[in-house]
Structure 1
Amino acid sequence: MSGYSEQILRYADNPHHVGELAGADGIGEVGLGAEERGARIAVRFFIKTAGRQVEMVRFQAFGCGYTIAACAAAAELAENTSMNEVLRISREAINARLGGLPVDRFYCADLAVEALRAAVAGSERQGERVTGNLARHQDHAGPRVRSDHPRYRQLMDSACSEDMVAADRHLLACLSAVMEEDGCPPEIALGLTSQQFISLWQNYFPDIDLDVAADISASRVSSAVSMDPELVSLLLGFIPAAHEPANRLSGTLLAHILAARAARPGHLWVAMGLFERAELGAAIKRHLPALFAANHQGMRWKRFFYKQICEQQGGLLCKSPVCGECSEYELCFNDGEP
């Protein structure tokens, strides 16, 4: 994991507090309810106590590197302190310990705080597993863009040359719609330079004035999210050896787009503005066939990406080495469809 500050990276890569805790006196979790599993960022904390003292803390995080780092910082703050002190741990304390989270990632600290407090509540209820109560982050569980979206409709109804792949045109129209909503330039929203974005626009939507493209790519709000260079590197490793056509959507451009949108909360297909999950797999199959083949078990794509990075670094992201035997299976898979 990279693209994070060195301090956040140190916490995200530190395995000391990661994992389950046998004989835990309290277990607290957020985002793992029956209707939530696999649909949102989730966190689980385990604590061992002696009287009112918290002696050991472990956690499991089902989210991005910021979530892992926030949980690691929370665990460090909580271990070897009193329960009352644990209950006073705040988002601000975690943020300070990490040297500053991006504003749009404060929610990761909120998750850690709530799950940790739930674990304390569990210890006070004789080891009961307690679910924390935290309002769902605006991570768009369903499609952000539909066929009647004004910008999508404008782009798809415009003329283009007959040799343009309709599915790629649809993908770029969806991405343009969410990029406009995010209010970020293409460098942030899509991981592309302005020139790359304009070149794609001129080829796929030649009848739409470039002023519209400029308006869409203009940054209006502060919603920047750091793209993970390590994820970019991973995805670029799957680029086909064949020559890539200029001014068309390619494996290289898609790799940058995937990395940029993966930095957003929630499901990757939703962050890309697609109508349904299967469209993401189809796009990867078209432009990054080796990547598609590598995910032969059908793991959710964002989960698959970070599992690959974790394994390259010798880390352990999973509870079980065999996916089918893992109790967290449904967090990573969606009925066999990535």
Structure 2
Amino acid sequence: MLVRADRVGFARLIAYARDPDNTDQRALACILSHRCNCPDTPYRQALGLDEAELRAVLAEYFPVLAADWPDGGCLRHRLGLACHHEAPPPGHGRFSASLLEQEEQDLCRLFLTHAADSGIWPVVFARSIARACMEPQHLWMSLGLEGRAQLSAILVRHFPALVARNDHDMRWKKFFYKLLCDEEKVWTCKASSCEICPHHSECYVTSPPGNAPAVVPPEG
């Protein structure tokens, strides 16, 4: 569920959308209204899109908002919201920028290798999701989405081959990093299988019996 400030930003942003009922434009509106695009913003709050890319996305899907867009302008300020760079998160700067950039590039490559097509949507979502993976929250929360189901729907639409590989419903962020570790042949878990690993609940979404909602542990 969107927090109050994000609901306000989303409503203002979706009012400018070329097609307010389009599923991808609504998901992008959640992300754009939640995350900050200032050049000097803390890394973890960034959109993952550079100035030219953001300008192109706004011109394509939110054309009224894109009109007279200032260089280095903050989208959240344009929506009447506080800019995240005004309150750097605790622990910012723990890792070197070069290490984080390499990690982000590896994640982007993973997504785009599994993209359903070569259009703009896979690129926009790959960049945003990869950047949000740097944060400790649920991935859907870091993106400003309404829930894990909305994140899963984005992945199904644009990265179906990647989704197909997650056949045991591992949490998305854990799953992405597991694939990267598999590529590099880096394995740290000593359990003979995931099912008996003591950290199983941290990696997988558990589905309780009956109609109770699934329990989703932190970070994913």
Shared fold, TM over 0.5: yes
2:106 paired residue among 233, 236, 241: 233
Structure with greater proportional strand content? 1
Counterpart position of 1:287 = 158
Q: How far apart in 2 are the matches of 1:243 and 1:179?
A: 25
1:216 paired residue among 75, 80, 88: 75
Q: How far apart in 2 are the matches of 1:217 and 1:210?
A: 16
Q: Number of aligned pairs? A: 191
Structure 2 unaligned residues grouped into runs of 5+: 78-82, 208-213, 215-219
Counterpart position of 1:177 = 33
Q: How far apart in 2 are the matches of 1:191 and 1:181?
A: 8
C-alpha deviation, 1:198, in angstroms: 1.3
C-alpha deviation, 1:279, in angstroms: 0.8
| Aligned partner letter, 1:205 | F
| Aligned partner letter, 2:28 | L
C-alpha deviation, 1:212, in angstroms: 7.0
The alignment yields a C-alpha RMSD, in angstroms, of: 3.4
Counterpart position of 2:22 = 166
TM-score computed with the length of structure 2 as normaliser? 0.70
2:202 is the counterpart of 1:325: no
Counterpart position of 1:302 = 173
Q: Deviations over 1:238-258 (max 9, x none)?
A: 43577523xx42x23322211
Q: Deviations over 1:234-277 (max 9, x none)?
A: 442443577523xx42x233222111011122111100001111
C-alpha deviation, 1:147, in angstroms: 9.3
Counterpart position of 2:56 = 199
C-alpha deviation, 1:311, in angstroms: 2.5
**Are the equivalent residues in 2 in contact too, given 1:261–1:272 (CA < 8 A)?**
yes
**Are the equivalent residues in 2 in contact too, given 1:235–1:255 (CA < 8 A)?**
yes
Structure with greater proportional helix content? 2
**Are the equivalent residues in 2 in contact too, given 1:146–1:275 (CA < 8 A)?**
no
C-alpha deviation, 1:295, in angstroms: 1.4
Structure whose alpha-carbon radius of gyration is higher: 1
C-alpha deviation, 1:186, in angstroms: 9.5
Counterpart position of 1:270 = 141
Q: How far apart in 1 are the matches of 2:23 and 2:161?
A: 19
| Aligned partner letter, 2:182 | E
Identity over aligned residues, as a percent?
Answer: 29
**Are the equivalent residues in 2 in contact too, given 1:231–1:309 (CA < 8 A)?**
no
**Are the equivalent residues in 2 in contact too, given 1:269–1:276 (CA < 8 A)?**
yes
Matches within 5 A, 1:70-219: 143-145=1-3, 149-161=7-19, 166-180=22-36, 184=41, 189-210=46-67, 214-216=73-75
Q: How far apart in 2 are the matches of 1:326 and 1:234?
A: 25
| Aligned partner letter, 1:232 | Q
By relative contact order (CA 8 Å, sep 6+), the higher-ranking structure is 2
C-alpha deviation, 1:210, in angstroms: 4.1
TM-score computed with the length of structure 1 as normaliser? 0.48
SS at match of 1:149: helix
Q: How far apart in 1 are the matches of 2:110 and 2:167?
A: 17
**Are the equivalent residues in 2 in contact too, given 1:186–1:194 (CA < 8 A)?**
no
Q: How far apart in 2 are the matches of 1:193 and 1:185?
A: 14
| Aligned partner letter, 2:127 | H
Distance 1:287-1:243 versus aligned 2 partners, 3 A rule: closer
Q: Deviations over 1:276-334 (max 9, x none)?
A: 11111111111111211121211111111222222323222434242222222110112
